[in-house]
């Protein structure tokens, strides 16, 4: 019952001219070898417009990495969901652990941003995941279930969106959970999505994120309920990102 997978690259605060060249290489390679999955790149907000132009006419989708919960106003330094969409994005990553930890975003904050994204016509990719301390205390399932309940507004039912399970301790560390651990958490995330959204929680893909690379992508993407991948470091190089796309 698995539908087409979504492989999204999260450039984080990386990517200037050299990465745009990588994006063009990626776009060309994808045109030559049609991907079996949906592919998205999420550059910093200032590069969305240029990336959208670089990838125009191709199949690669563009996403933002965050947006403000309000539509407009006195929020110096922030970018609204509508601005992200207008710049050329169709998706937006929300609630990444780097924003939860570094900018104090709560589940309620994330849910408000999801509402804003939906209002602007963006497909949100909502990130959740436990810390190492929570994992070691045996609380991983409890933590992600709570995050799903708090970060997914009821209005998501029937909308296009994705959830990304990213164990905080696996991000940029080269460490990944075992396939059994991924399967266990993804099953719990699905159950929490259905508990929150009813039937509307059944279809959205649950991506895995955290140190995905060409060498581990195939086995991770084959795990039950893994509907794609959110890729950080390995999305900065076309060769690595294409290796992951080919595995999906
Ligand atoms: C997790 C992931 C992308 P990386 O943050 O969101 O990054 O693949 O570098 O671990």
Per-residue pLDDT tens digits of the chain, which is 248 residues long: 457 999 999 999 987 767 778 877 777 777 666 678 999 999 999 999 988 888 888 889 999 999 999 999 999 999 999 999 999 999 999 999 999 999 999 999 999 999 999 999 999 999 999 999 999 999 999 999 999 999 999 999 999 999 999 999 998 888 899 999 999 999 999 999 999 999 999 999 999 999 999 999 999 999 999 999 999 999 988 889 999 999 99
Nearest to 151 by CA among 68, 95, 192, 80: 95
For atom 3 of ligand 1, the residue with the nearest CA is 232
Q: Quick check: CB of 121 below 6 Å from ligand 1?
A: no
| Catalytic residue, candidates 96, 123, 134, 225 | 96
Instruction: Report the greatest alpha carbon distance in the chain.
Output: 48
- Per 3-state DSSP, the chain is made up of helix, strand and coil in percentages (nearest 5) of 50, 15, 35
Nearest to 15 by CA among 57, 62, 59, 58: 62
Residue 203: predicted pLDDT: 93
Reported as a single tens digit per residue, the pLDDT across 18-62 is 777 887 777 777 766 667 899 999 999 999 998 888 888 888 999
Atom of ligand 1 nearest to the CA of 93: 6
Atom of ligand 1 nearest to the CA of 233: 9
Residue 12 Cα to ligand 1 midpoint, Å, equals: 9
- Does residue 96 have an active-site annotation? yes
ipTM over 0.85: yes
Residue 214: predicted pLDDT: 96
Distance CA 159, CA 121 (A): 10
Residue 211 Cα to ligand 1 midpoint, Å, equals: 6
Distance CA 22, CA 19 (A): 5
Q: Cβ(88)–Cβ(122) under 8 Å?
A: no
Residue 2: predicted pLDDT: 55
pTM: 0.95
For atom 5 of ligand 1, the residue with the nearest CA is 171
Q: How many CB atoms lie within 10 A of CB 132?
A: 13
Distance CA 119, CA 237 (A): 33
Q: Quick check: CB of 231 below 6 Å from ligand 1?
A: yes
Residue 1: predicted pLDDT: 42
Angle of helix 214-221 relative to helix 179-197, nearest 10 degrees, comes to 50
Distance CA 120, CA 97 (A): 23
Using a CB cutoff of 8 Å and minimum separation of 24, what contacts does 155-158 make? Answer: 155/115, 155/118, 156/114, 156/118, 156/124, 156/197, 156/200, 156/201, 156/204, 157/197, 157/198, 157/199, 157/200, 157/201, 158/200
């Amino acid at each position: 019952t698995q539908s087409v997978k979504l492989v999204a690259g999260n450039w984080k605060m990386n990517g200037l001219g050299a990465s745009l060249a990588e994006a063009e290489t990626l776009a060309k390679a994808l045109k030559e070898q049609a991907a079996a999955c949906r592919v998205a790149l999420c550059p910093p907000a200032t590069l969305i417009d240029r990336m959208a132009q670089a990838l125009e006419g191709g199949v690669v989708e563009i996403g933002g990495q965050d947006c403000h919960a309000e539509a407009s106003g006195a929020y110096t330094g922030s970018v609204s969901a509508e601005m992200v969409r207008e710049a050329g994005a169709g998706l937006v990553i929300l609630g990444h652990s780097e924003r939860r930890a570094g900018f104090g975003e709560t589940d309620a904050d994330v849910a408000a941003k999801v509402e804003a994204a939906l209002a602007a016509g963006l497909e949100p990719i909502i990130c959740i995941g436990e810390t190492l301390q929570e994992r070691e205390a045996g609380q991983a399932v409890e933590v992600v279930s709570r995050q799903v309940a708090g970060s997914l507004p009821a209005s998501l039912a029937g909308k296009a969106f994705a959830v990304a399970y990213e164990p905080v301790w696996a991000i940029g560390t080269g460490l990944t959970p075992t396939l059994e651990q991924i399967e266990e958490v993804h099953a719990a995330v699905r159950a929490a999505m259905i508990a929150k959204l009813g039937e509307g929680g059944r279809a959205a893909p649950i991506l895995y994120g955290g140190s995905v690379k060409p060498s581990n992508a195939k086995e991770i993407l084959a795990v039950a309920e893994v509907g794609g991948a959110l890729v950080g470091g390995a999305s900065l190089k076309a060769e690595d990102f294409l290796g992951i796309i080919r595995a999906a």
